[in-house]
Amino acid sequence: MFPYLPHTEEDIADMLNTIGVDSIDDLFRDIPSELELNRPLNLPEGISEYEVIKKLRDISKQDISEYVSFLGGGSYDHIIPAVVKHITSRSEFYTAYTPYQAEISQGILQAIFEFQTMICELTSLDVSNASLYDGHTAASEACAMALNSVRPRVKGADTLLYSETIHPFTKQVLETYFSHTGITLKEIRQTAGVTSFEDLESKLSSKVAGVIVQTPNFLGYLEDYTGFADLIHNNGSLFIISSNPLSLGILKPQGAWGADVAIGDTQALGLPSYFGGPSVGYIAADRKLLRKMPGRIVGQSLDRQGKRAFLLTLQAREQHIRRERANSNICSNQALAALATTVYLAVVGKQGLREVGRRNVQKAHYLFNRLINELPVEPLYERPFFNEFPVRLNRHAPSVLRRMEDEGIFAGIALERFYPDSFKDVIAVAVTEKRTKDELDLYVDTLRGILK
């Protein structure tokens, strides 16, 4: 049945007998039945190598680059300077492996060090690590930091609070990460599109180790965290804020809000959407949390000749040999993608980052104002936003999005997919500096024809 597998039926029977199980299915008996696929995979019959190559070529011709994208929800269509791809395509970086030998890895170590430095400058916090898988796992790691920091001094601190306005995928990852661990996750309600201070206050207790919020939040709105840090710190908990790093060029950084830990995803800084990944999660923290931080950290030192040198520092070796004592066991960094972010930030610079941020805001508000003033479209709430905003349509949102796609426009995402009981016929529209005035006007004219 599978000619590329070398084992005979006798080989398989011998192996199963050696480990004491009756069948291959027994190896997977710990998987809950509701997660098992009880039907054959929906795959076509096998074809020849030539036919496979031809099919892949045909698929590659189905180019969607001519579509105009207003998709957001955590992954955005930004301008990426050509030098980003040029640098990341160099073999020294593209094929580099884990830089354990500092004496032959100075280039990649310096790149990681610069990434850490830039993340600290963006977030206004003291220390950062090399990177994490994405923004969602960064949230889980930050929550683990909160638990590891608070539990030694507060017995029974087993609860994490998260805002209803954080990314739904972040919630899913948190639920997966802390399932079967005895950790309780509780949601803070949103009021008019932002985190409810009153609901947070009512849910804080000695059991709460950390609180995680997001701005700009998943709806696109900017949140005001005045008073949050004092409330959370007086409770003995850690304050964690997730942010789109592009917004930090013009908006108040997490450290200025009093956050202990800052997290997010750097996809907006030099990384295409890539149909969903890969990306880079960033994490930065107050200096007192340095030894609780997961993953790889590059430090700066001097070599024997007194020259600047870089090295891996504060490595928790038990992550490699004693997993049960590790701060984290999913702490591999995204070195190549993080390099793309580093090159992007180096190229655009501080002033360029501000300018990109301003263009995002201006263009998003231009489209928002035209939609609200000219079409049967309503704002979800009257709230400030960065480059993404939700609006309510006068008809079935998924159907409208499909018709817009037929016209060559990815018009946004339907929020009822994530909030089926709350935001029916609401779409979130993202506008970046890449969108031209002609494209923004085309969006309005096309939607006008669909909604008339």
Domain containing residue 264: CATH number? 3.40.640.10
> What is the share, in percent, of the chain residues with pLDDT greater than 90?
76
User: What CATH number did the domain enclosing 365 receive?
Assistant: 3.90.1150.10
Residue 147 lies inside a defined structural domain of this protein: yes
Angle at 191 between CA 188 and CA 195, to 5 degrees: 45
With a cut of 60, say whether residue 316 has pLDDT above it: no
pLDDT band at 117 (very low <50, low <70, confident <90, very high): very high
Cα–Cα dist 295/42, whole Å: 38
With a cut of 90, say whether residue 61 has pLDDT above it: no
Least confident of 2-6, 133-137, 238-242, 407-411: 2-6
Whether residue 109 sits in one domain with residue 163: yes
Residue 96 lies inside a defined structural domain of this protein: yes
Of 292, 324, 343, which marks where a domain is finished? 343
With a cut of 90, say whether residue 452 has pLDDT above it: no
Per-residue confidence (pLDDT) for residue 166, from 0 to 100: 98
Number of domains in the chain: 3
Whether residue 93 sits in one domain with residue 31: no
pLDDT band at 73 (very low <50, low <70, confident <90, very high): very high
Residue 428 lies inside a defined structural domain of this protein: yes
Per-residue confidence (pLDDT) for residue 7, from 0 to 100: 87
Whether residue 103 sits in one domain with residue 214: yes
Report residue 7: phi and psi, to 5°. -85, 135
With a cut of 70, say whether residue 40 has pLDDT above it: yes
Closest CA to 114 of 363, 392, 368, 338: 338
102-113 pLDDT tens trace: 888 899 999 999
With a cut of 60, say whether residue 351 has pLDDT above it: yes
Residue with the bigger pLDDT between 396 and 277: it is: 396
Per-residue confidence (pLDDT) for residue 275, from 0 to 100: 80
Whether residue 360 sits in one domain with residue 337: no
Residue 63 lies inside a defined structural domain of this protein: no
Per-residue confidence (pLDDT) for residue 260, from 0 to 100: 98
Residue 1 lies inside a defined structural domain of this protein: no
- What is the average pLDDT across 70-83? 96
| Whole-number average pLDDT of the chain | 92
Whether residue 326 sits in one domain with residue 254: yes
Range of the domain at 174: 82-343
Whether residue 241 sits in one domain with residue 184: yes
Whether residue 214 sits in one domain with residue 287: yes
Residue 444 lies inside a defined structural domain of this protein: yes
Whether residue 353 sits in one domain with residue 338: no
Residue with the bigger pLDDT between 357 and 58: it is: 357
Per-residue confidence (pLDDT) for residue 416, from 0 to 100: 94
Angle at 162 between CA 160 and CA 166, to 5 degrees: 150
Distance of alpha carbon 19 from its chain centroid, rounded?
40
Whether residue 86 sits in one domain with residue 73: no
Angle at 442 between CA 436 and CA 445, to 5 degrees: 150
Least confident of 58-62, 84-88, 279-283, 316-320: 316-320
Whether residue 168 sits in one domain with residue 88: yes
- What is the average pLDDT across 127-147? 94
Cα–Cα dist 195/221, whole Å: 10
pLDDT band at 101 (very low <50, low <70, confident <90, very high): confident
Q: Is 349 left (phi over 0), alpha (psi -120 to 50) or beta?
A: left
Residue 291 lies inside a defined structural domain of this protein: yes
Whether residue 257 sits in one domain with residue 277: yes
232-249 pLDDT tens trace: 999 999 999 999 999 999
- What is the average pLDDT across 47-71? 87
Closest CA to 242 of 326, 316, 168, 339: 168
pTM of the shown model: 0.88
CB 261 within 8 A of CB 238: yes
Of 324, 343, 362, which marks where a domain is finished? 343
Cα–Cα dist 353/356, whole Å: 5
Whether residue 423 sits in one domain with residue 298: no
Residue 430 lies inside a defined structural domain of this protein: yes
The count of other CB atoms within 10 Å of the CB of residue 177 is 18
3-state secondary structure of 44: coil
Per-residue confidence (pLDDT) for residue 331, from 0 to 100: 56
Per-residue confidence (pLDDT) for residue 278, from 0 to 100: 87
Length of the chain: 452
Per-residue confidence (pLDDT) for residue 320, from 0 to 100: 57
With a cut of 90, say whether residue 144 has pLDDT above it: yes
